[in-house]
Amino acid sequence: MRRAVLRRVNPYWLMAVPAIVLFFLFHTLPALEGVFYSFTDSTGYGDWKFVGFENYVNLFSDDSVLHSYRFTLGFAALSTVVVNAISLAIAVCLTRNIKFRGLLRGIFFLPAVLATIVIGYVFNFLFSSGLTGIGRSLGISWLSDSILGNPHLAWLGVVLVAVWQSCATTIVIYMAGLQSVPGDVLEAATIDGANSWQRFWRITFPLLAPFLTINMVLSLKNQLMVFDLVVALTGGGPGTSTQSISYLIYHNGFTGGQFAYQSANAVIYFVVIAMLSLVQLRALRAREVSA
Amino acid sequence: MNATVRRRSGWLLTGLLFFCSLSILAPMYLTVVTALKTRSDAGSSLWGLPHSLHWGNFSEAIRVTHFWHALGNSLLLTAVVVVFTVLTNSLVGYAIARNMHRRAFRGVFFYFLSALFIPFPIIMLPLVKELSRLGLDNLGGLALLYVVYNLPFNVLLYTGYMRTIPIAIDEAATIDGANAWQRFWRVIFPLLTPANATVAILTGLSTWNDFLLPLVVLSDQNQYTLPLTQYAFQGQFSTNYNLAFSSYLMAMAPMMIIYLLAQRWIIGGVANGAVK
């Protein structure tokens, strides 16, 4: 009897429905719950009551929240630009006529297979002991103390490690893009008298636009979510100078009794990420061309 | 003459790239030598080679952090997640790709797609409550979450790849008497091998290296994965960097070994995953 019913249902639905149900239960439902609790004063346990938009109003006058947005947005913007500039340059070099291409590509991609948290701990030590030793022996004063201990410079330390790791994947994607540029177009340009500088900026770079779009969107989104590196490098410090948004939500949401308040913060965070991604996608898509 | 210039610039560029690669190799070198030094050795010269190879750091790190246990957890978790992600996500991708002309399936497609924009922190706080209520705050729950959370990206990837597989293949199988399930497992799934490899590589890397999800989901320290173990033992490590670095090195080693053996597939998989 049950088998007969199953046989009449479209089999494609049987393939998709369990996944849809599980996805709703473990992704959509908690997200909706988060939005719901953002209108309450819940601490994560015990009684709660509705407070309307109070959490949202308070967020905009909360220095630690505003600072976390300033830090995260500044960090993500700078990292994204630097990662893409460096990666494009290295990818161009790697696709030229060089020796040991496989080995070099292998080295440049290595950071992508390592756990970010572990890389963070290695660099933490590098900043605190490895570089300060060099700084002291060379008499460079700003290198003599760990930049992670300096409230004004610590964020640059996080940028540096983020760039160190993120370049790996970005380089590989740009290399795929560079290899897709048709050779005959470049050859035609050479015959027309274009030098290699002109060939790159007039032909290769415009044709790379789809890859630039992918890399900019992926980098920005990844950097906006920065969490592991903050934990391993600074723990949000010194003070709260490098608290990223996701670190603040994690830290105060779980241990600070701010369950509802940080849920409201997460809703704003979602809106910011969605808006930035869409704006960026539109702006970059507009300038894509095809060969 | 032109050829000579080009050959010379090739070597020049190679040299430049090797110089740049030092920025990656230097921290790796520091990790290896620090892991092999005694504390006094590291204190006297940080960047120098160790006076004698001090393997004792490793055995102590293995003992202190319960390395074999954490390694087992990470291996089991990653293996289960990779296998189930490939098997289930491809099936869902197939169901959606072959029904994109139906409004309901298109709706499911955009439902998964829109989830790509939702940052994890908005889910994190209520999720932890839900998991402990369901008794899923353990490795099993973690595996389930990874397989489910991989859906949006993989549905996008599989439906994209499925477009290159002609529908005539499905039709031929139907004429031969195969139902939808047989069509998928016997005919389509084997044709998906390049996409499956990409998904397996991306899933393997991200699961093995992930920190945030195990951090919020796992409640029992016996179930900690390797990255989480490094975090959990920071207190013990802070006084002994050489012990810490041998632990970091062992945490990185399995993936580095796999990378050495399968470099080309891993790089290819990551590039395909982003471009498709």
Chain B, residues 71-90, CB within 8 A of chain A, namely 88-89
Amino acid present at A18: P
Question: In this predicted model, what pLDDT tens digit does every residue of A152-176 receive, in sequence order?
Answer: 889 999 999 999 999 999 999 999 9
Question: ipTM of this model?
Answer: 0.91
In a domain, A82, yes or no: yes
Chain B, residues 201-260, CB within 8 A of chain A, namely 205, 208-212, 216, 226-227, 230-231, 234, 241, 244-245, 248, 251-252, 255-256, 258-259
In a domain, B248, yes or no: no
In a domain, B39, yes or no: no
In a domain, B95, yes or no: yes
pLDDT at site B5: 56
Which CATH number characterizes residue A234's domain?
1.10.3720.10
Amino acid present at A149: G
Question: In this predicted model, what pLDDT tens digit does every residue of B16-31 receive, in sequence order?
Answer: 999 989 999 999 999 9
In this prediction, residue A71 has a pLDDT band, given cuts at 50, 70 and 90, of very high
Give chain A positions within 8 Å (CB) of B47.
130, 133-134
B102 vs A14, A44, B98, B107, B153, CA distance in Å?
A: 15, 42, 9, 9, 21
Which of B17, B98, B264 should we substitute to test contact with A (largest number of A Cβ atoms within 10 Å)?
B17
In a domain, B241, yes or no: no
In a domain, B212, yes or no: yes
In a domain, B63, yes or no: no
What domain count does chain A have? 1
In a domain, A187, yes or no: yes
Contact residues for A79 (Cβ-Cβ < 8 A; gap 6+):
A159, A162, A163, A166, A219, A223
Q: How far apart are CA A233 and CA A249, in angstroms?
A: 18
Give chain B positions within 8 Å (CB) of A217.
none
What domain count does chain B have? 1
Query: Among A15-19, A213-217, A282-286, where is mean pLDDT lowest?
Result: A282-286
In this prediction, residue A50 has a pLDDT band, given cuts at 50, 70 and 90, of confident
In a domain, A108, yes or no: yes
In a domain, A149, yes or no: no
Percent of chain A with pLDDT over 90: 53
Q: Which domain holds residue A271?
A: 39-115+161-286
Which residue(s) pair with A50 in the sheet? A40
Q: Which domain holds residue B169?
A: 75-232
Tokens standing for residue A47: 């009684």
Total-model pTM: 0.90
Which CATH number characterizes residue B99's domain?
1.10.3720.10
In a domain, B2, yes or no: no
In a domain, B253, yes or no: no
How far apart are the CA of A67 and the nearest CA of chain B, in angstroms? Answer: 18
